[in-house]
Copies of this chain bind each other. A is one copy, B any other.
Amino acid sequence: IAKEVAKLLEMKAQLGADEGKHKFVLKTPKGTRDFGPKEMAIRERAFKAIISCFKRHGAEVIDTPVFELKETLTGKYGEDSKLIYDLQDQGGELLSLRYDLTVPFARYLAMNKITNIKRYHIAKVYRRDNPAMTRGRYREFYQCDFDIAGQFDPMIPDAECLKIVHEILSDLQLGDFVIKVNDRRILDGMFAVCGVPDSKFRTICSSVDKLDKVPWEEVRSEMVAEKGLSPEAADLIGEYVQLHGGLDLIERLLQDPKLSQNKVAKEGLGDMKLLFEYLTLFGITGKISFDLSLARGLDYYTGVIFEAVLLQQENEHVEEPLSVGSVAGGGRYDGLVGMFDPKGRKVPCVGVSIGIERIFSILEQRLEASEEKIRTTETQVLVASAQKKLLEERLKLISELWDAGIKAEMLYKKNPKLLNQLQYCEDTGIPLVAIVGEQELKDGVVKLRIVATREEVNVPRESLVEEIRIRTSQC
């Protein structure tokens, strides 16, 4: 009986919850956010800079579905696979939200037997991460990816990807930055000469990847205690991952008695040297650092890897670490497309992903600090009336303007006060007001008011469109 009563009470409680509409939580899902008009204006500025760079480099654009068959994503992300969002099985296919744009791109290439493409893709990806939202990390976020697929001469497309990162970060004026570069082959060679067993390469790589967030001591203890690496091997790795530099370091490592004996490491170092030569021709080596601690989390990289981090401005006296986080990353993944091809045919790929959310956060903060007023519409003219009973005339005029391609608004009131109409222009930054009144209608003119100067001129109705165009051509 007690059980039955408990059950009934539970049912009652549930009913109560259903009825109590006020208990409804009004929010977006954890780790997501809305973008209001102001945020969107900032976001579109950033997108514009990124897209124009991608187009400057001759990229086409593609789009893929937001979800993929679950098995498409399986076995591509290593330890991060647990962060994938699955959809409920509703009696159909097992689906997951995309985790990045790279795996769907590889699936697209294999499915359409494309062996040669340079494309960009800007879309949202999903990770059930524990987001620290103040630092611009979310569960739903945009990625802006540029990739070059195809069999080409070594390091030419790789160098272009780094050039793109350099162009975008310079263009967005986010402050000083450095692009760290490494190569999975150098890492693998390093692991081998340090005595890491083959089977532990990927998991030790994941540990090294954490070095930008946690100190070496912690990473070392993870390697030894959790992953069963010998302390000696860990200490040898510790020596290498401290190294960073430029061409000089590459030359030194090519002479390194242990590394130079390792075939893959030597290959990686040779290509790294070639990469630096090309980057010198591009004039961007000043911002590039060959860094042996760079590992990148994802499983699918096979060659060059890189990551761009913003550096703390010297004049900002805050207690933050010197690097304030990654804003772009990428690398070469020559094996991924082959994983999808029924015959295992490989399509070598290299690409870069711009981490736009952190860039937004920075642009947002900067805009708030600057007190710059950002417009959220492009309206050129408000169609207004000075007297009552002129709604019909306003509708007629605004319709003419729309049909002529002029961006025009009016207040949705039958008899708005002129003052309210002018105030609306002040609030939203509309530069012109086209005022219809009894007298103007008789004279066949429209009174055009320039909001900034309060100047007013009568313009013949037939030349109004031209006049508005001229006066807003700088906008």
Write the residues of chain A forming the contact surface with B, with a CB cutoff of 8 angstroms. Answer: 21-22, 24-30, 32-37, 40-41, 43-44, 55-69, 71, 85-90, 92-93, 95, 97, 107-108, 110-112, 117-119, 124, 126, 128, 140, 148, 150, 152-153, 156-157, 159-160, 163, 167, 278, 281-283, 339-340, 342, 376-379, 391-392, 395-396, 399, 402-403, 405-409, 412-414
Partner of A152, one of B67, B108, B396, B413: B413
Contact A64 B152 (CB under 8 A): no
Q: Which residue of B lies closest to A35 (CB)?
A: B63
* Option from B37, B87, B282 in Cβ contact (under 8 Å) with A85: B87
Q: Which of B55, B65, B413 touches A34 (beta carbons < 8 Å)?
A: B65
A56 touches B402 (CB 8 A): yes
- Chain B residues whose CB sits within 8 angstroms of the CB of A29 once the complex forms: 65, 67-69, 93, 95
Q: What's the dominant secondary structure at chain A's contact region?
A: mixed
Q: Tell me the bound Cα distance from A184 to B124 in angstroms.
A: 37
Q: How far is the CA of A282 from the CA of B400 in the complex (A)?
A: 8
Evaluate contact between A163 and B402: CB separation under 8 angstroms.
yes
Minimum CB–CB distance for A29 against chain B, Å: 5
Q: Which residues of B contact A159 (CB under 8 A)?
A: 395
- B residues within 8 A CB of A35? 62-64
Q: What are 22 A-B pairs at a CB distance below 8 A?
A: A24-B340, A27-B69, A29-B68, A34-B62, A34-B64, A34-B65, A35-B64, A36-B112, A40-B61, A56-B408, A57-B407, A58-B377, A58-B378, A58-B409, A59-B377, A60-B376, A65-B140, A88-B88, A118-B409, A156-B391, A163-B399, A283-B399
Complexed CA–CA distance, A77 and B26 (Å): 19
Known A57-B409, A379-B58, A414-B153; judge A65-B399 contact (CB<8 A): no
Known A-B contacts A26-B342, A58-B377, A62-B40; the reply to A281 vs B407 at CB < 8 A is no
> Once the chains are docked, how many angstroms separate the CA of A302 from the CA of B150?
55
Q: Are B26 and A66 in contact (CB under 8 A)?
A: no
Report chain B residues within 8 Å CB of A399.
163, 281-283
State which of B25, B33, B406, B412 has its C-beta within 8 Å of the C-beta of A56: B406
Say yes or no: A281-B396 contact (C-beta < 8 A), given A27-B69, A37-B61, A66-B66: yes
User: What is the chain B residue whose CB lies nearest that of A154?
Assistant: B414
Given A395-B282, A402-B56: A67 and B377 interface contact (C-beta under 8 Å) = no
The answer to whether A340 and B58 touch across the interface, beta carbons within 8 angstroms, is no
Supposing A58-B379, A281-B396, A414-B153 touch, asked if A28 and B64 sit within 8 A by C-beta, the answer is yes
Which B residues lie within 8 Å of A157 (CB)? 412
A281 to B400, CA, bound (A): 10
The listed residue (B28, B93, B153, B396) touching A65 by CB distance below 8 A is B28
Q: Across the interface, which residues of B come within 8 angstroms of A412, CB to CB?
A: 148, 150, 152-153, 156-157, 160
Interface centre among A29, A61, A68, A152 (most CB of B within 10 A): A29
Q: How far is the CA of A112 from the CA of B27 in the complex (A)?
A: 10
Closest to A283 in B: B399
Q: Which residues of B contact A140 (CB under 8 A)?
A: 65-67
Residues in B whose Cβ lies below 8 Å from that of A148: 412
Could you say which of B66, B87, B339 contacts A88, with CB atoms under 8 Å apart?
B87
Most chain B CB neighbours (cut-off 10 Å) among A340, A377, A408: A377
Complex CA distance for A306 and B1, rounded to whole angstroms: 57
Q: Quick one: closest B residue to A128, CB to CB?
A: B90
> In the complex, A159→B394 CA distance in Å?
13
- Min Cβ gap A151→B in Å is 9
Instruction: Across the interface, name the chain B residue whose C-beta is closest to A164.
Output: B402
Given contact pairs A29-B65, A35-B62, A56 touches B88 in the complex (Cβ within 8 A)? no
Please report the C-alpha to C-alpha distance between residue A69 and residue B29 in the assembled complex, in whole angstroms. 6
Among candidates B66, B119, B339, residue contacting A37 with C-beta atoms closer than 8 Å: B119
Q: Give the top 9 A-B pairs by smallest Cβ distance, nearest first.
A: A152-B412, A37-B60, A58-B409, A32-B65, A35-B63, A86-B88, A58-B379, A156-B412, A281-B395
